[in-house]
Amino acid sequence: MRKTLQIALICLLLPFMVRAGEPEKRNSTMPEYGKWETFTTKDGLPSNKVYCVRADGDQVWIGTSHGLVRYKNGEFKTYTQEDGLAHPGVLSIDVSELTGDLWIGTLGGLNRFSGGKFETFTQFNSGLANDVIYSVVCDGKDVWAATGGGAGHYDTYKEEWEIYTERNAPMHEPWTYNVCAGGNKIFIAAWGGGVIEYQKETGHFRDYVDPDGEMEIDLFPDDGVVHDITTAVSYANGILWVGTYFGMSRYDGLHWKGYFDHDSGLASNFINFLKAKGDVVFLCTDEGLSSFNSKAWITYKRTDQGGSNIFYKDGKSTTKPTATGIAHNFTIGVDFQGDNIWVATSYGLSRGTRIN
């Protein structure tokens, strides 16, 4: 009887013992995309300059130089200042998981689009730090905005703003370029100031900068973020990814690792934006769209013949020509919708389909 009880107890505890003793298994499958479609003004976009894209269920929101666009059921609908948009230049979009509200960062203020109506936040009618909104992210009831005058935090329940600049946070200057949430923290890409980490539980800040202080080269590899001019941050599965104009950094909470176009599959060191999906990060550069799962790379480029998928692993590169390619190699934004990937470029919007 005692032996039976012992066996039963071991069987009951076994799943917990396995989880405690073994690392979590993650899906590191490297997706490959193809069958690219391109959308331009000929298809209904108000402009070919596409700054950002955000999938939201069965619809996709697109930020262009001439307005906010919704793509649904194969049709484009454009919203402009006449509809209440703060500015025609839409740089960033996010969707609140709590309310479904759309938050829109523009060159002239921050919009909340709810119930078919636009609400505008500016320096003059709210506590917004600056009217140039490079990035906006929803984190529960809170909305964070990276602006040209510091980072802003808006509590939608209290309807109160907090502003973070060099006066109350470890920033070299108040120009912030991107923001993301993850791991109970907020990460802010501060232009010229590396990455600012805000711990939500304590309200404390810390910064991550390039320790060697060199602007032209990464003097000591893997000693920290590769450069202080940061352009994008994304957090997923315990990994912080940092984009700069001089390469990319990966941080697992203990160790930094730098990646450059001369020693990896990265299309270019000039990174406009990046976004992690599971264990894979997608990087928008001036020379194509790259993806990386910490082991292997795939870069997507447009060519005169259509496109190419460039594979890189263990120092070896192979190229597969494709019938279609991304709209333009200067990529600015990326998001995912089921098996589809959407890419914002300087000349058109692209949609690719997963092919593996």
pLDDT of residue 18: 31
- Domains of the chain: residue spans and CATH: 45-354 (2.130.10.10)
What is the tens place of the pLDDT at every residue in 142-178?
A: 999 999 999 999 999 999 999 999 999 998 888 999 9
Alpha helices in 148-273 (DSSP H): none
pLDDT of residue 212: 72
Residues 6 or more apart in contact with residue 307 via CB below 8 angstroms: 36, 300, 301, 321, 322, 323, 324, 325, 326
pLDDT of residue 214: 64
How many whole angstroms separate alpha carbon 282 and alpha carbon 32?
12
Q: How many CA atoms lie within 13 A of 262 on its CB side?
A: 3
pLDDT of residue 223: 82
* β-strand pairing of 109-114 with 117-121: antiparallel
In order along the chain (356 residues), what is the average pLDDT of each group of 10 residues?
Answer: 37 32 47 98 98 97 98 97 98 97 98 97 94 98 97 96 94 92 97 94 94 66 90 98 97 96 97 97 98 97 97 96 98 98 98 96
Identify residue 334 by its one-letter amino acid code: V
How many whole angstroms separate alpha carbon 256 and alpha carbon 250?
6
